[in-house]
Amino acid sequence: MTFNIQEIMNFLPHRYPFLLIDRIIEFEPTKRLVAIKNVTINEPFFQGHFPGYPIMPGVLVVEAMAQAGGMIMMAEIPDRDKKLVVFTGIERAKFRRPVTPGDQLRIEVEVLSMKIRAGRIEGKAYVDGKLACQATLTCQVVPRVREPHPATEAPAENAPAPEAATPVEKPQ
């Protein structure tokens, strides 16, 4: 099973400049996925990372792996338009070689465990068949609409009005 960018956007809420996978070339539901990220000089992060020596930030390579893992989770969620898969942990991340403009990342993720609300994957990113990055990632399924924070909730209709502040007199 493969997915083009339009199909990926039906599963993931990420959009430019933060959607970091371009195509899925292999997909075994609940087991593994292989995605492609084409790295171009037009990426906004290359303006500052680093001028004259462009390198894709390692955290974005890890994020691309997390998005690929998110695709596996989202494919199993029936009401995915009401849910998000959020990245909750990174273990044993290793960066083996730089990723530069013109590279094509081959992102391979394998499910280590997957439950209704959480998952754990092993991610690897390759450039030209050579390992560029690897990490174990965890994620959690959360509601897409955030619950209001208690400090910002409106007072209940019958709640007493807060007392007015008493003015302080200045000494003369």
* Domain residue ranges in the chain: 5-146
Q: Is 49 a catalytic residue?
A: yes
Q: What is the model's pLDDT at position 146?
A: 77
Query: Is the whole model's pTM more than 0.75, yes or no?
Result: yes
Q: Could you report the average pLDDT of every consecutive run of 10 residues in the chain (172 residues)?
A: 95 95 97 98 95 97 97 92 94 98 98 95 98 98 84 60 52 54
Residue 102 carries which DSSP code? T
Question: Which residues are CB-contacts of 88 (< 8 A; sequence separation ≥ 6)?
Answer: 118, 138, 139, 140
Q: Which of 23, 49, 97, 106 is catalytic?
A: 49
CATH code reported for the domain at 5-146: 3.10.129.10
